[in-house]
């Protein structure tokens, strides 16, 4: 599978789906009235998908990896905030379990991609002298063949 755009990444697709779910939950009357907390958890979930996208677009695997670490950290932040939401009665324990598992799974998928990038030895398009003379702006990591494990755990 050739990945040319961040929208092709399964981790970005999952992050987008989870952002939609967090927005749905935080729109519920009890949750939506706690403005600061609502905005904080929304910010954290947006950070996950945004850092995946921004890192991918940087055209360097080292930078991509760094942004993936930030996205992974934001997954943990959302999980932590979900405990607060349960403790405050904004969501039920049953409702939170699926989200906890989804964010743990996403975090694991991000880790797998980080490990794949580290093992690949590729630096990215901006470090490839042959890519500087081409008109393509696609990151080198986007042109590599990815294993299904790295993208679809």
3-state secondary structure of 2: strand
Two structure tokens written together for 35: 């403005």
Two structure tokens written together for 75: 């997954």
Tens-digit pLDDT profile for residues 44-87:
999 999 999 999 999 788 999 999 999 999 999 999 999 999 99
CB half-sphere exposure, 32, CA atoms < 13 A? 6
3-state secondary structure of 145: strand
Tens-digit pLDDT profile for residues 10-48:
999 999 999 999 999 999 999 999 999 999 999 999 999
- Distance, CA of 15 to CA of 47 (rounded, Å): 9
Asked which of 37-46, 107-116, 132-141 is least confident by mean pLDDT, the reply is 132-141
Q: Is the pLDDT of residue 130 over 50?
A: yes
Residue 86's φ and ψ, nearest 5 degrees, are -65, -45
Question: pTM for the complete prediction?
Answer: 0.82
Two structure tokens written together for 54: 């921004």
State residue 24's pLDDT score.
97
Q: Which fold has domain 6-151?
A: de novo design (two linked rop proteins) (1.20.1440)
Name residue 2's beta-bridge partners.
145
């Amino acid at each position: 599978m050739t990945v040319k755009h961040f929208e092709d990444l399964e981790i970005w697709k999952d992050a987008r789906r989870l952002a939609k779910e967090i927005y749905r939950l935080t729109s519920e009357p009890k949750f939506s009235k706690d403005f600061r907390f609502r905005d904080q958890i929304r910010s954290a979930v947006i950070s996950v998908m945004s850092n995946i996208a921004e890192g991918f677009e940087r055209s360097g695997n080292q930078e991509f990896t760094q942004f993936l670490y930030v996205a992974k950290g934001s997954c943990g932040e959302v999980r932590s905030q979900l405990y607060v939401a349960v403790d405050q009665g904004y969501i039920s324990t049953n409702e939170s379990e699926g989200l906890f598992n989804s964010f743990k799974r996403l975090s694991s998928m991000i880790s797998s991609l980080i490990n794949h990038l580290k093992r690949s030895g590729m630096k990215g398009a901006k470090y490839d002298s042959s890519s500087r003379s081409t008109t393509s702006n696609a990151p080198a990591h986007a042109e590599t063949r990815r294993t299904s494990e790295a993208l679809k755990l």
